[in-house]
Amino acid sequence: MTKILVTLSVISGLLLFLASGVLIRADTLEVASEPSPVFEGIQTPAPPLSPDYFPCTTCHEKGKTNNLRRQLTEDHTDIVFDHDAKNRWCLDCHAPLDRDKLHLASGELIDFDQSYRLCGQCHGPTYRDWKVGIHGKRIGMWNGQKNYFLCVHCHDPHSPSIKPIEPFPAPVKPVGKPFLFEARNR
Amino acid sequence: MKKENSNRRLSRRTFLRNSMQSAAAVAAGLCLPGVLAGCDTKVVEAFLQKHFLELSPSELNKVLRGLEKENLKKYGTSTVVSAKPAMPGVLFGYGLDLSRCIGCRRCVHACVKENNQSRDPAIQWIRVLEFPKEKGIDFSEANPYYCASGAGQLSDEQRDILAKPESQYPLYQQKETAQGADCKVPRPDHFYVPISCQQCENPPCVKVCPVNATWKEPDGIVVIDYNWCIGCRYCMAACPYGARHFNWAEPKLPAQDVNPDMHYLGNRPRYRGVVEKCTYCIQRTRNGRYPACVEICPVGARKFGNLLDPKSEIRSIMERKRVLILKNDLATKPKFYYFYGL
């Protein structure tokens, strides 16, 4: 008897769960869950890490850190930090004790190739659009395997607004030969 | 009165007879000393070729292999000319994010490269218009010639990007060239609207063609049979988007720039005196690939997919974003959707 009750409650729980899932879908509100099934079969390319710096642990020893919020004066002075600089600094994203990783607000350590999860913590609507392919770029097949690009392929994580770039050549203005009457009048 | 009438009829008849005779004489003079013997058989075959839609599979195969042979002779590279039909259950739609486009014109040149357009005179299927923000989309304010200071030729760096679109990333570490120092896009207070064929569901260009050389395929792509086009350019007059382009001169395509992956209705080399236009890269999209402009766009403003698939990118755009089509009042029903991603 108890067995039946347990199975019944499990089934009803499952149904409720499914129903809530459907509701969430209908509202296009996607609750951040563990590695989303959307990513299955979709490759993200390797993150654009500078070989001059990566792996970071060649300099930054694991397990050691200076937590003091400060202006860097010796190294990494080339980094222009313009990403809510008033409220944030390096160790809000970079894991203090393992510099080869990033860390989420939850404390979970992630690799650089999952950095989109870090960005998605604040940029929710953009993250949602990126997952369905509205924001950002995809290459590959429109009906099959797609390659995503990471946020950091286009946006400098330290200064994310897109900077103006050089355009490709303009079309040639049509320059007509002189009209017949013009030629005659010459 | 009656006499005059009969006279006129007579004269008309004579005229017809004479013209028939002269036509026969011209034909004979050109290539009929013995029946079709002295004539280049390819010329005769091309002249007598049926309409694309009426070709039997074996005839079509013959035509395609003939085109490949012609390409080999002309460009010295082996090409594959396919005539792959539309996939069932597919209707192509295109999305362009106006809040992302920065007007960098990479799509224009990727398109030229992919679709074997004539380099001289330069034919470009995509035209990127620059608008001042304060005026909104007002075509009388559009400027396609912004940042035109350069030599108009692609630099080596730009060629590398076209050959390998992934090499543009990370976008913020692009090398600067001296050429581009004076003008960078997006320019302040301007926005950009790239325009190419809108692949109308109700295409005015198809309606006006007097010889049925252009038609809408089942997957929604408006195509042209370059062997059937007579070059009357009615379609260009009818198109409200300026999407069709005419080969006024013999198209010049350097042999090293030929894209060997060709489609009969798409990017095979064109002839002088025919009209051409965007085909959503028919040679790519019918094989499941994204169009070349989608793959080159550095900011991901270009989207492509199947309008009949509810899970496709283009459908999610139409459900979630503010979408607009150009010249809605003309009821051409474009399948090219501009939207605001922000």
3-state secondary structure of B159: helix
Residue A75 has what pLDDT? 87
Cβ distance of A164 and B304 shorter than 8 Å? no
Looking at the predicted structure, is the pLDDT value of residue B181 above 80?
Answer: no
**What region, left, alpha or beta, does residue B153 occupy, with left being phi > 0 and alpha being psi -120 to 50 degrees?**
beta
Please give the full DSSP string across A132-145, using - where no structure is assigned. Answer: HTSSS-EEEBTTS-
Tokens of B243: 């999407």
Cβ distance of B289 and A141 shorter than 8 Å? yes
Q: Select from B180, B183, B341 the Cβ nearest to the Cβ of A129.
A: B341
Span B267-281, mean pLDDT? 96
The ipTM (two decimal places) reads: 0.85
Span B103-131, mean pLDDT? 95
- Tens digits of residue pLDDT in B50-88: 999 999 999 999 999 999 999 999 999 999 999 999 999
Cβ distance of A159 and B109 shorter than 8 Å? no
Q: Select from B148, B300, B320 the Cβ nearest to the Cβ of A28.
A: B320
Cβ distance of B151 and A169 shorter than 8 Å? yes
Best residue in A137, A145, A146, A156 to probe B by mutation, most B CBs within 10 Å? A137
Overall pTM > 0.90: no
Domains of chain B: 78-342 (3.30.70.20)
Looking at the predicted structure, is the pLDDT value of residue B106 above 70?
Answer: yes
Cβ distance of A28 and B285 shorter than 8 Å? no
A154 interaction partners in chain B (CB closer than 8 Å): 169-172, 298-300
Looking at the predicted structure, is the pLDDT value of residue B284 above 50?
Answer: yes
Cβ distance of A167 and B300 shorter than 8 Å? no
Best residue in B171, B246, B338 to probe A by mutation, most A CBs within 10 Å? B171
- Tens digits of residue pLDDT in B206-245: 999 999 999 999 999 999 999 999 999 999 999 999 999 9
The answer to whether B49 and B61 are in contact (CB under 8 A) is no
Which stretch of A40-49, A50-59, B7-16 has the lowest confidence by average pLDDT? B7-16
